[in-house]
């Protein structure tokens, strides 16, 4: 992908693909943002999949945010027609270092990530998160499209983003990579 930049607090914000030298800083951010080890362990495990797509936000050479997308399987039955091969990814996790939150960095990471999805031919993205946050990017309640996650208590927070016509969005239970079973 092309790197993207914007200006935040007089410092240049750069969004670029994650590199191996970022791993330590990303782990620190995940620990600090989530207050535990689960998300950092998840991301470390997901890096074993070449299909993982992850970006970092950098200000003044310092990594301050991270976003990851990994492939998911959705029962590929569409309302409009016969079963089709549809590429879908799950957004998780998203984190910005506590000192840099509420400066628009998470917003830039999500926007750049969705652009990367489009450029990669990924037509459906799901996320488990606060609808008040993710709706601003075009995520809509997954239940509207008969898409559910396996976390029964969190269906209200499960959302979908897609460039497909609504009738072409696949329906069913979303299966994440096995690494998510450990979270």
Total interface residues for ligand COA by CB under 6 A: 18
Q: Does 46 bind ligand COA (CB under 6 A)?
A: no
Q: Which residues contact 157 (CB under 8 A, 6 or more apart)?
A: 128, 129, 130, 131
Distance CA 158, CA 127 (A): 6
**Minimum CB distance to ligand COA, residue 40 (Å):** 12
**Minimum CB distance to ligand COA, residue 134 (Å):** 8
* Long-range CB pairs of 156-160, under 8 A, 24+ apart, other chains included: 156/131, 157/128, 157/129, 157/130, 157/131, 158/126, 158/127, 158/128, 159/126, 159/127, 159/128, 159/129, 159/131, 159/134, 159/135, 160/124, 160/125, 160/126, 160/127
**Minimum CB distance to ligand COA, residue 33 (Å):** 4
Of positions 118, 130, 156, 166, contacts ligand COA by CB under 6 A: 130
**Minimum CB distance to ligand COA, residue 83 (Å):** 30
The token pair at 161 is 């983003």
3-class DSSP state of 74: coil
Q: Does 132 bind ligand COA (CB under 6 A)?
A: yes
Contact (Cβ atoms closer than 8 angstroms) between residue 126 and residue 172: no
Q: Which range of residues in 16-24, 105-113, 142-150, 174-182 is near ligand COA by CB under 6 A?
A: 105-113
**Minimum CB distance to ligand COA, residue 102 (Å):** 5
Q: Does 62 bind ligand COA (CB under 6 A)?
A: no
Of positions 106, 123, 142, 170, contacts ligand COA by CB under 6 A: 106
Residues 69 to 98 in contact with ligand COA, rule: CB under 6 A: 92-96
3-class DSSP state of 98: helix
Of positions 4, 5, 6, 107, contacts ligand COA by CB under 6 A: 107
Residue among 148, 36, 145, 140 at smallest CA distance from 93:
36
Contact residues toward ligand COA (CB under 6 A) are: 33-34, 92-96, 101-107, 129-130, 132-133
């Amino acid at each position: 992908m092309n790197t993207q930049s914007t200006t935040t607090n007089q410092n240049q914000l750069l969004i670029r693909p994650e590199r191996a030298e970022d791993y330590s800083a990303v782990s620190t951010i995940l620990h600090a943002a989530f207050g535990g080890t689960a998300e950092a362990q998840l991301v470390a495990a997901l890096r074993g999949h070449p299909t993982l797509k992850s970006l970092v936000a950098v200000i003044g050479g310092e990594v301050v945010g991270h976003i990851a997308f990994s492939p998911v399987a959705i029962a590929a039955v569409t309302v409009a027609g016969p079963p089709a091969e549809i590429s879908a990814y799950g957004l998780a996790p998203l984190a910005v270092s506590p000192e840099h939150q509420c400066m628009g960095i998470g917003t830039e990471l999500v926007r750049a990530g969705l652009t990367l999805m489009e450029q990669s031919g990924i037509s459906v993205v799901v996320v488990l998160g606060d609808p008040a946050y993710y709706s601003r990017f075009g995520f809509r309640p997954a239940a509207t499209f008969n898409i559910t996650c396996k976390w029964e208590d969190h269906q209200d927070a499960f959302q979908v983003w897609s460039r497909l016509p609504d009738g072409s969005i696949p329906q069913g239970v979303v299966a994440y990579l096995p690494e998510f079973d450990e979270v």
